[in-house]
Chains A and B, each alone.
Chain A
């Protein structure tokens, strides 16, 4: 066999996967149990985590709320919230989506599902132990790494199973081109254990001296966003957008540029969380520059997605999957550009320690990542359980509650954060005025939490119905409206 020429190995294929429907059904079926297990536990932790967030939010405007219990104090609920949504919801949901995509894109039925099932169970035990640990006061107050040292090894073992599984899947994949989503998945599945192990060794198990900690802490936290959630979110967007509208991705070359610039620049971003902080200036400067360079992958990806969608925006009217995914993809562009701007020292000095950052965090993790996960689940779950979503109306409710809720939350925190930041910056203002400016916006944030939680409850209700196959059997998928023209076999949502 001739080895492929350079040109042919650069041969871009823009089709997600070319499988016939029998193969596809067989692959989907092989992923059923592990993927559903990850999804179900993720949705459980989403509800728990959001409720913890909601109580934290109301405590900020009503400090006397539930204040006689040590395990419900703000300083414990808040990290419990963060860890529940990051490690309980976003990570397992991302793993579920990632497993399913990997099997489809490697074009082989999922191997070694026992490995994954054990991973899912161990992971969830680790989360449970960790959250309880934080609430009883064993939290470490290292942001994003609050879990006590007795729960993180459990999580690491669970994750190691998944990493091993990924390598096996890629090793035995059907020959052929590697679609762009696979690049992102492969990279993310390898980056995450490296990140998690480094941070845990240096900050939790054998902590380095105080002066070095901040840099490692934010290198880790930022890369969980940039090199774990973002690649999986983009892998899903790169897969589902072409799939649902039934046309190839606009440009494979743009996706290559987007991928490598993301890999290089994102990994250097961490220190923009410490502008003005106690670190050598070159470290902070490197991260500020890398943050500016993030314009390249972000704009590239935005153009690529937009050009793929062009002429197909009417699909948003009927496809729930697409509506959530496109909302997420647009939010990705917005949150990334906002993030780059927040690394500009003149703006950072005002927004850094305020609610503005919290607005940014939710724009990224909710409006981008969580919405992409919801959209992916709307596509994947019917194919695993062999049942259609019971109600398009409820899906519509879920969408609008999520969209309105998150826009209200981000809008309120952004405005409130700016006013708070200006008061903290202005030498003539008192500290008290920063609280007074922020307060009404914090009330709005508290209200938005109810709206978001309501949307999540609708989704959880739909999901349980799917698992139990409740409702009348449907002929076709649950769509918002009838599509004007049938695209290919992928119409199913």
Chain B
């Protein structure tokens, strides 16, 4: 086989076969997927998310949370994800319709976040945790995101959005408070929106966990 054109055709065809299967197919098929009507509420599945949560996706991307946190629940019995409480059911393609970037992730250095909004619905908890994770979970290796917060002097009334109950070396001194930036607020809104616990026909909940 000394013919360059022949080699060219070969490398073209082998590559194209996979390109059709793994690129063109998902683009044309999953790329056109639509939400389903939700008979119970009259809304759609997956539910639409707030503008703030959508803005939070950008903060999630620029902070690189995806390098430690996955957002996918694998099926049972392939994995023990459901038994370990990561979610009530396997996550499927339709679950990612609301995501500008689907943060599936490849690492579980930290826990999976597919359902963090259901597991931990408290806004203030998230702010405390992002501000200094080790004051909430002392064995954590999650980095601090203090740079998303501002420590300021309390002028008159404390701000209504100030983070409550901060402890540790970076906690505000007396007369000071810590307020979340717009980015931090958006990020937490995004985390609270992560609830893949609605029902989808293509992903039934396993009868026994």
Contacts and interface: CB of A to CB of B under 8 A. Distances in A.
User: Is this pair of chains taken from one and the same complex?
Assistant: yes
Interface of A: 4, 9-11, 59-61, 63-64, 67-70, 73-76, 78-79, 137-143, 170, 177-178, 183, 186-187, 190-191, 194, 198, 202, 207-216, 219, 223, 227, 256, 260, 263-264, 267-268, 270-271, 273-280, 283, 286-287, 345, 349, 352-354, 357, 424-427, 431-432, 434-436, 439
13 contacts: A73-B64, A74-B64, A138-B62, A141-B62, A141-B66, A177-B2, A178-B2, A191-B15, A209-B96, A210-B99, A211-B31, A256-B1, A435-B139
Contact of A202 (B23, B79, B84): B23
A73 B148 CA distance: 12
A212 B62 contact: no
Contacts of B146: 67-68
Contacts of B8: 186, 190
Contact of A139 (B21, B62, B81): B62
B4 A178 contact: yes
Nearest to B147: A70
B36 interface: no
Interface of B: 1-4, 7-8, 10-11, 14-15, 17-19, 21-23, 25-27, 29-33, 60-68, 70, 72, 74-75, 78-81, 83-84, 90-109, 111, 133-134, 139-147
A267 B7 contact: no
B11 A186 contact: yes
Q: Report, nearest first, the 7 A-B pairs whose CB atoms are least far apart.
A: A75-B64, A276-B74, A353-B108, A210-B96, A267-B18, A211-B93, A210-B99
Nearest to A75: B64
Given A170-B4, A186-B11, A213-B102, A73 B74 contact: no
B7 A183 contact: yes
B93 A278 contact: yes
Contacts of A357: 106-107
Label chain B's interface by main secondary structure: loop
Nearest to A82: B67
A256 B101 CA distance: 40
Given A209-B97, A278-B72, A227 B102 contact: no
Contacts of B61: 139-141
Contacts of B75: 276
Contacts of B97: 209-211
Contact of A278 (B96, B141, B147): B96
B74 A349 contact: yes
A63 B79 contact: no
Given A63-B143, A73-B145, A208-B31, A271 B64 contact: no
Contacts of B80: 349, 425-427
A418 to B, nearest CB: 14
Contacts, number: 233
A73 B147 contact: yes
B134 A63 contact: yes
Contacts of B99: 210
Nearest to A286: B21
A59 B70 CA distance: 19
Given A210-B99, A278-B95, A64 B108 contact: no
Contact of A431 (B18, B22, B111): B111
A70 B63 CA distance: 8
B106 A143 contact: yes
Instruction: Give the most central of B25, B104, B108, B142: most A CB within 10 Å.
Output: B104
A9 B100 CA distance: 51
Contacts of A60: 109, 141
Given A183-B7, A207-B101, A277-B74, A137 B62 contact: yes
Instruction: Give the most central of A70, A139, A275, A277: most B CB within 10 Å.
Output: A277
A281 B155 CA distance: 59
Nearest to A148: B62
Contact of B141 (A139, A267, A354, A435): A435
Contacts of A170: 4
Contacts of B15: 191, 194, 227, 263, 267
A214 B104 contact: yes
Given A270-B22, A276-B78, A59 B31 contact: no
Contacts of B66: 75, 141, 143
A147 to B, nearest CB: 13
B147 A211 contact: no
A283 B26 CA distance: 9
Nearest to B62: A137
Given A59-B143, A210-B97, A268-B17, 9 more contacts: A9-B3, A63-B141, A198-B19, A209-B97, A211-B102, A216-B27, A268-B18, A353-B107, A427-B83
Given A209-B33, A268-B21, A278 B92 contact: yes
A78 B63 CA distance: 11
A462 B135 CA distance: 48
Contacts of A279: 26, 30, 93
Given A211-B102, A264-B14, A427-B83, A186 B141 contact: no
Instruction: Give the most central of B18, B21, B103, B108: most A CB within 10 Å.
Output: B18
B64 A78 contact: yes
A276 B79 contact: yes
Nearest to B93: A211
B206 to A, nearest CB: 14
Nearest to B110: A431
Contacts of B23: 198, 202, 215-216, 219
Given A11-B2, A137-B62, A263-B10, A212 B78 contact: no
Contacts of A424: 84, 108
A260 B12 CA distance: 11
Contacts of B95: 211, 278
